[in-house]
Amino acid sequence: MSVISKETQRLLATGSTLRDMFEEGKRLAKQYGRENIYDFSLGNPNTPVPEELNDAIRQVLDEYDSLTLHGYMSNPGFEDTRQAIADNLNERFGTNFAGKNICMTVGAANAIVIALKILLDPGDEVAVFAPFFLEYRNYISNFCGVTTVVPPNPPTFMPDMDALRNTITEKTKAIIINTPNNPTGVVYDEQTIRNIAAVLEECQEKYGHPIFLISDEPYRELIYDGLEYPFLTKYYANTMICYSFSKCLSIPGERIGYLLVPDEAAESQDILASTANAIRAVGCVNAPSLQQKAIMKVLNARSDTHIYDRNRQLLVSILHEAGFEVANPQGAFYVFVKTPVPDDKEFVSYAKDNYRIIISSGAAFDCPGYIRMAYCVEYAMIEKAKDSIIKLGKDYGLN
Ligand code: PLP
């Protein structure tokens, strides 16, 4: 009998398809040379970190006594950082938050885990829209919660309200939405947000208890075509925002984000008080202190999203020329492509073995029949991949 828990054994057996493809890309790069493979597998930001942030980090090191800077703090984070974020949101979105509405976290991942730690009893359900970031399943099962899946809604991948209504049961404690979306790149418009809020209000009424809207927003600032993404607390009171600076500042390794709970949410003050226990209970204690002090100085700084936008336009035009059907990507740095055969894993292997194109299977997002391409890559690589992508489409009779 193994000492490893059954849940961890299950994770070991299923592995991470995304990480496996990333490792495969590295192996092929060694074998054929990096310039001869087209690796679209991983969502690792590749636009430069804004110089203001590097300056801010240097300033922070000079400004603070090092024991104070690097020491323990209140679990939800430095008060001045939380207040600066609240002020910045209020200025940008006309909201009315205070520092106390925010708990600094170890990225968006930790913010979601803290939210679930606070909300879930064993057996409680959390609904997610397929395709979705598969880590959600792990986050939910940490607390013996049950993931329920709203089926995908191709070709737009906008949430379908009847499907949402049918997925919510009396056991549903929360739903998670993620827009701009990984893996589709789709951005929900304001009407869609209003519709989701209306369904949740209706289900709260029906089942007689709050249902939280957990909004996973690491890609909030990566939006194209002049779109704007509204601030969700304005539409639905029982909202928890899980934000991250990983993508907008190109610093995923630094692990900094926050959880925001508005005063209007049910039991908001108890939830906010619980963040201190929750962040300790999941073993993080507090968000990285140096980063808290640095990001508060540069809350309007952004990595150059034009670089992603340019990549997006080129890749989508190549995919169209090759004959592929693509969901309209208006945010994040992913495109979701329908595979010409039902077995997306077979298609992923074919693209890798014949053209050294490394892509992720849709099955890794609970949506077989599709693949994801991450375009946070060199523009020149996309240009170079063009002929291979066109030939790949031709092999399947698409052009
Ligand atoms: N949610 C989604 C949809 C993501 O794609 C990611 C990271 O890629 C995360 C959450 C985790 O974000 P962070 O690394 O900031 O914790």
Of all atoms in ligand 1, which is nearest to the CA of residue 178?
Answer: 3
129: three-class secondary structure by DSSP:
strand
- Altogether, the residues listed in the chain come to a count of 399
List the 146-150 sheet strands across, edge first.
102-105, 257-260, 239-244, 212-217, 172-178, 125-129, 146-150
The pLDDT > 70 percentage for the chain reads 99
By the 8 A CB rule, do 49 and 383 touch? no
Q: Which of 2-16, 40-54, 199-213 has the lowest mean pLDDT?
A: 2-16
Task: Indicate which residue's Cα is closest to atom 8 of ligand 1.
Answer: 43
pLDDT at 26: 83
Whole-prediction pTM value?
0.96
Give me the amino acid identity at 230. Answer: P
The full set of domain ranges for the chain reads 6-49+303-395, 51-295
Nearest CA to ligand 1 atom 12: 108
Going from the Cα of 109 to the center of ligand 1, the distance in angstroms, rounded, reads: 6
Per-residue DSSP letter, 151: P
From ligand 1's centre to the CA of 283, what distance in Å? Answer: 19
Query: What is the SS3 assignment for 135?
Result: helix
Instruction: Choose one of 134, 135, 334 to mutate for the ligand 1 pocket test, by most ligand atoms within 8 angstroms of C-beta.
Output: 135
Give 69-111 pLDDT, tens digit per residue.
999 999 999 999 999 999 999 999 999 999 999 999 999 999 9
Q: What is the pLDDT of residues 279-310, one digit of tens each?
A: 999 999 999 999 999 999 999 999 999 999 99
How large a percentage of the chain has pLDDT more than 90?
Answer: 90
Which atom of ligand 1 is found nearest the CA of 106?
A: 16
Residue range 329-359, pLDDT digits in tens: 999 999 999 999 999 999 999 999 999 999 9
Number of neighbours of residue 6 by Cβ within 10 angstroms: 8
pLDDT value of residue 15: 63
What is the mean predicted confidence (pLDDT) over 121-127?
A: 98
> Structure tokens of 342?
């039902």
- Flag whether pLDDT at 21 surpasses 80: no
DSSP symbols for 243-298: EESTTTTT-GGG--EEEE--TTSTTHHHHHHHHHHHHHHTT--S--HHHHHHHTT-
Helix and strand numbers, DSSP H then E, in the chain: 14, 12
Nearest to 361 by CA among 110, 113, 14, 7: 14
373: left (phi over 0), alpha (psi -120 to 50) or beta: beta
Long-range contacts of 381-384 (CB under 8 A, 24+ apart): 381/38, 381/39, 382/311, 382/314, 382/315, 382/318, 383/314, 384/35, 384/38
**Could you tell me the pLDDT band of residue 47, with boundaries at 50, 70 and 90?**
very high
Name the average pLDDT for the chain: 95
| Cα–Cα distance list, 81 to 76, 108, 176, 292, 294 (Å) | 10, 17, 26, 6, 9
CATH class given for the domain over 6-49+303-395: alpha beta
- What's residue 157's pLDDT? 97
What CATH number should be reported for the domain whose range is 51-295? 3.40.640.10
- Mutation pick for ligand 1 pocket among 176, 182, 240 (CB with most ligand atoms within 8 Å): 182
Distance 397 CA to ligand 1 centre (A): 36
pLDDT above 90 for 14: no
Q: Name all residues whose Cβ lies below 6 A of ligand 1.
A: 43, 107-109, 133, 178, 182, 216, 218, 244, 246, 252, 257
Residue 264 per-residue DSSP state: T
